[in-house]
Chain A
Amino acid sequence: MREHARHRLSRRGLLAGAAAAAFAIRPRPGLGAEEPRLNFYNWDTYIGETTLADFRTASGISVKMDLFADSDELFAKLREGNPGYDVIVPTNDYVERMIAVDMLQPLDHSLIPNRANLQDAFADAAFDPGRRHTMPYMWGTLGIGYRKSKVDGVPDSWKWLFDSDRYAGRCALLSDASTVLGAAIKYLGHPLNSRDPAIIRQAEELLTGQKRHIRTFAPDNGQDLLLSGEVDITMEWNGDILQVMDEDPDLSYVVPREGSIIWQDCLAIPVGAPHPLNAHAFINYILDARVGADIADFIRYATPNAAAKALLPADYTENPGIFPPDATLTRCEPAIYQGPEVVRLYDEAWTRIQAA
């Protein structure tokens, strides 16, 4: 889902230097018992190019970053106990699950003064009331990536993927049950997090009917299919498409007018983290304005950090792929964890769709 974007060495170098200078952690008395290490479990290419090195310069803590490929992996890995991670980056609906099973440590807000930099809308979250367990990291949308020269106008409706043979054999969907079914439910005009089996059934029928026109259910590599010309229109996460748009100006991204899924990745400290104080220091560092701007500029995802956003140029802040217009955003909803019965309904529907 997450990839870094273009290389713009000149300015990033400046930003990094400025960030390192602007920020310095002073050891607080009585807290210095931890070894200067930190294990960070993150998505690939989802951090600034020099962020970890700068943090080490600023704080003396060396960060070791490991990568996971999807939230399910993160959850499965932590399920039987924390193997030693200090900071993890779960997505909103997994934050809910993790809080529900006490996988996350409550944060000590007094150690994260930089949370004042957050945009008001992100200061609290329905999935983590009072932000007791998480701080927002980046957010984004699900939408449609397409090749401009091969589609008619702007395909700003899920219809082209779910209910049309216009792009038969040239379109792809993602391969995640709740994402695809959720988008189909949005297209049918229902709320994203519908628990009603009849609605899920309706979405299943829609997809089963559409299946013969779909080239493949792409395991999160729709952007590659698009770039290599394998398909002309695909369901994907915005950051993925933004990245290939840099390489091929014929590609574009749109959030469908029916609305879509909006997601938020968060920074959290799992229970059993060996270095919780370092983890707090790291989270606070990430929320610094300069540091946040540096990261957002490099990975090209939407930052929830108002102070960081203010430091960035218009080609970032006014990019509709990163920050969709408000009118679109109001029709987007976050995925909410619905409990095991509903997850099972989605999974069985998905198995049937693929087997049909």
Chain B
Amino acid sequence: MRIPPGPLEFTRRTWIRLVLLATFVFLYAPIATLVAYSFNDSRRNIVWRGFTTRYYERAIANDGLVEAFGNSLLIALAATVVSTLLGAMTAYALWRFRFRLKPLCEGVVMLPIVIPEICMGVAMLVFFARIGWPGDLPWPISLSRITIAHISFCFPFVAVVVRARLSRFNGELAEAARDLGAGEWAVVRDVIVPHMRPGLVAGALLAFTLSLDDFVITFFTSGPDTVTFPVKIYSMVRFSVTPEVNAASTVLIVVTITVTVVAMWLQNRTRSGAPP
């Protein structure tokens, strides 16, 4: 190192680097193991028995798994879109208005984050059964139960993230726009939404992740035609983790990385054209 690190260059401090390194080793050792064992030529992830790609073939040939995979992605996409919209509206309403019961409303919005998953799963099971939600709908409308449940627990996360972003909004910007004759709708569209955008992206990513990984609530809302990837995986690995499960997970990791990289790239592109 030529110059000693300055006060702000924490990343050049050795101890910070060591912590970063140790953290990434901690985070990735299991993932690396997972990926490595997806090529293991044994039915169990315990002893290494040689290299094979046949579990990828098996995973891809497993119709149930592929279908579950498709269902999961579809549900996650739908849940992400709707919960981002709802979350943004919630955040906007909670930020824009003052009313007497606001603290209560803020608390209620936090409820889905706080509730134990199994309790919410049972609540959804009872709810859909008692209100007589039809169970024999054609695909993909049959995914509506799961999607609705996912939206209910995802959008509060989006709301929290977007709300935090809005709290740093400079009100003068909106004032200026109004002075220039912009209607309320134009202010929202041209000033507030662009400011929200990083929060929307972060919230959407969070919602997508939560939906994609949820098992407990989905289990209680799924039926024979609406199995998702985590539900499928769960019933498979409770007995033993096979390389097939690892292969499927590796594929899922690759798919989600691709989606994110594309999303980040899109975000960078749009952000460079939008006000900060």
Give A residues with C-beta under 8 Å from B.
Answer: 1-3, 39, 41, 43-45, 64-70, 73, 76-77, 79-81, 83-85, 219-221, 223-224, 227-228, 240, 244, 247, 274
Contact between chains at B240 and A3 (CB < 8 Å): yes
B153-161, B219-227, B263-271 - interface stretch: B219-227
Q: A66-B224, A66-B227, A69-B235 are in contact. Are A83 and B135 (CB under 8 A)?
A: yes
**Segment 103-122 of B: residues with Cβ below 8 Å from A:** 122
Known: A221-B240, A247-B44, A274-B136. A67 touches B125 (CB 8 A): no
A-B contact pairs, 27 of them (CB 8 A): A3-B240, A41-B224, A43-B235, A45-B239, A64-B64, A64-B225, A65-B64, A66-B227, A67-B232, A67-B235, A67-B236, A68-B235, A69-B239, A76-B125, A77-B125, A80-B125, A80-B129, A80-B130, A84-B224, A84-B225, A219-B238, A220-B239, A221-B239, A221-B240, A224-B240, A244-B44, A247-B43
Asked if B92 is at the interface (CB within 8 A of a chain A CB), the reply is: no
Q: How far is the CA of A41 from the CA of B240 in the complex (A)?
A: 19
Residues of A within 8 A of B43 (CB): 247
What band does the interface of chain B fall in when counting residues whose beta carbon is under 8 Å from A?
Answer: 20 to 34
The reply to whether A224 and B224 form a contact with Cβ atoms under 8 Å apart is no
Instruction: Closest A residue to B238 by CB, please name it.
Output: A69
Cα(A144)–Cα(B50), bound, Å = 31
Give the distance in Å from the alpha carbon of A41 to the alpha carbon of B223 in the complex: 10
- The reply to whether B44 and A83 contact each other, CB–CB distance below 8 Å, is no
Name B67's closest neighbour in chain A (CB-CB).
Answer: A64
Q: Which residues of chain B have a CB within 8 Å of any CB of chain A? A: 42-44, 46, 64, 122, 125-126, 128-130, 135-136, 219-220, 222-225, 227, 232, 234-236, 238-240
> Contact: A224 with B44, CB < 8 Å?
yes
Question: Contact at B224–A3, with CB atoms within 8 Å?
Answer: no
A68 CA / B232 CA spacing, docked (Å): 9
Q: A64-B225, A85-B224, A224-B240 are in contact. Are A80 and B126 (CB under 8 A)?
A: yes
A84 and B46 contact, CB distance less than 8 A: no
CA distance A130 to B177 in the complex (A): 80
A39 contacts B235, C-beta separation under 8 Å: no
CA–CA, A84 and B44, complex, Å: 33
| Residue in A66, A84, A220, A244 whose CB lies within 8 Å of B136 | A84
Q: What's the nearest-Cβ distance from chain A to residue B43, in Å?
A: 7
Q: B232: which A residues are within 8 A, CB to CB?
A: 67
Which of B128, B223, B239, B240 has the most A CB atoms < 10 Å from its CB?
B239
Q: B167: shortest Cβ distance to chain A, in Å? A: 41
- Expressed in whole angstroms, the Cα–Cα distance for A2 and B239 within the complex equals 7
In Å, the complex CA distance between A70 and B235 comes to 9
State the Cβ distance, A243 to closest chain B Cβ, in Å: 8
Query: Which residue of B is nearest A6, CB measured?
Result: B43
| CB of A4, distance to nearest CB on chain B (Å) | 9
Flag if A69 contacts B126 (CB, 8 Å): no
- Which of B128, B224, B234 interacts with A39 by CB under 8 Å? B224
Interface centre among A68, A69, A79, A274 (most CB of B within 10 A): A69
Contact of A240 among B129, B224, B236, B239 (CB under 8 A): B239
Known interface pairs A73-B219, A80-B125, A274-B136; A44-B224 also in contact (CB < 8 Å): no
- Determine if B238 and A224 form an interchain contact, defined as CB atoms under 8 angstroms apart: no
For the complex, give the distance between the alpha carbons of A43 and B238 in Å.
10
A295 to B223, CA, bound (A): 26
Q: Among B42, B227, B240, find the residue whose CB has the most chain A CB atoms closer than 10 A.
A: B240
A242 → B minimal CB distance (Å): 13
Q: Is B223 a contact of A83 with CB atoms below 8 Å?
A: yes
Cβ 8 A contact of A224, one of B46, B125, B234? B46
List residues of chain A with CB within 8 A of the CB of B42.
247
Q: Give every chain B residue within 8 A of A43 (Cβ-Cβ).
A: 235
